[in-house]
Amino acid sequence: MRSVGAGRWRRVASQVGRSVTVWAVSTLTMLVLAGILPDFRLQSPDGDSATDIAMTAAVGAGAFGLLSALV
């Protein structure tokens, strides 16, 4: 017989896995679009690097995925 806590941890792990998957797909989609679309640039007019912009987008995608999983 399984304890009630084990089922809860399984649901939490499932939600975390789902959020990580959404974050990874969102980040990869942005990188693919940057490579395919000619006007999709990963550099802002004031000179932020592509790494800074990609990290910001990855954090934003992760936050969105987390909020989506919680709702």
Q: What is the DSSP string of 37-71?
A: -TT--S--TT---HHHHHHHHHHHHHHHHHHHHH-
pLDDT of residue 70: 76
What is the separation, in whole angstroms, between the first and last Cα of the chain?
31
pTM: 0.51
**Contact predicate 54/30, CB 8 Å:** yes
Question: For the residues 50-54, what does the mean pLDDT come to?
Answer: 74
**pLDDT grade for 2, boundaries at 50, 70 and 90:** low
Give 6-45 pLDDT, tens digit per residue. 788 888 888 888 878 877 887 788 777 777 877 766 566 6
**Which residues make Cβ contacts (< 8 Å) with residue 48, sequence separation at least 6?**
none
pLDDT over 80 at 48, yes or no: no
